[in-house]
Structure 1
Amino acid sequence: MQPVSILLNILWILIGGAWMAFGWLVAAVIMAVTIIGLPWARAAFNIAVYTLLPFGSRAVRRDEVTGTSDIGTGPLGVIGNLIWFILAGWWLAIGHVITAILLAVTIIGIPFAWAHLKLAGIALWPIGKVIVPA
């Protein structure tokens, strides 16, 4: 990880990244408790780690990385994302948007607000995403 990414990640954790990563972790634990929710728990846990340290990596569709479609990027992935949206995606997205609005009030917080808006999009549709180095 680059020194700039390390600095940005430290600032990110201090000004809002930690509590949203905790939200993703809570969603992952709730999904894991219900055995049926294990596929969503895995995706939520991966994105919780990404939410904790977003600078220096990015989220992309898994089929763009592997070159082949799989269960998460096909029709079952769409159904899984719709279920996710209903159960947890909307409230995680709202949390990211509210945090982005609060951060955008300051000039220093604008890059962090933009990162939260990107994470809000991922919160709505996480199945089939993979985190890769930037």
Structure 2
Amino acid sequence: MNTILNVIWLILAGIWLWIGYMLAGLLMCILIVTIPWGIASFRIANYSLWPFGREVVSKPTSGAWSFIGNVIWVLLAGWWLALEHLVTGVIMCLTIIGIPLGIANFKLIPVSLAPLGKEIVESR
């Protein structure tokens, strides 16, 4: 079932979300100081391309620097990525078949706002 959802996701939303995260990552990697945000953006880009069967969890070792980094991230790129998820999720929820995909989009909004201190693991 995860494979079917992932293929539908890839066609309807995954490509566009991946492009958004990749652009954000490239912009963040232009300056040396913002490379950690670029790496986090690339990690979330791969997750947003094929999300079903995986989940995002908080790293137990992340601390205050992750929080400060996430605040900076929201100002630089997080808000427009969250907006991208919100718009895509609302559009997906217009059809009955798209409702699970829309809900998945809404679940990605917190990750798009705070990618530092998170890791992607396989679902059980």
Q: Name the TM tier (shorter chain).
A: over 0.9
Q: Report whether the alignment pairs 1:36 with 2:25.
A: no
In the alignment, which of 95, 99, 109 is matched to residue 106 of structure 1? 95
Gaps of 5+ in 1: 64-68
Q: Report whether the alignment pairs 1:94 with 2:83.
A: yes
Superposed, which structure 2 residues align to 1:1-134 within 5 Å? 4-63=1-60, 69=61, 73-134=62-123
The percent identity for this pair of structures is: 41
Structure 1 stretches of 4+ moved >6 Å? none
Gaps of 5+ in 2: none
Give the match's secondary structure for 1:127. Answer: coil
Superposed CA deviations along residues 73-99 of structure 1, whole A, max 9, x for unmatched, are 211111000000000000000000000
Q: CA RMSD for the aligned pairs?
A: 0.7
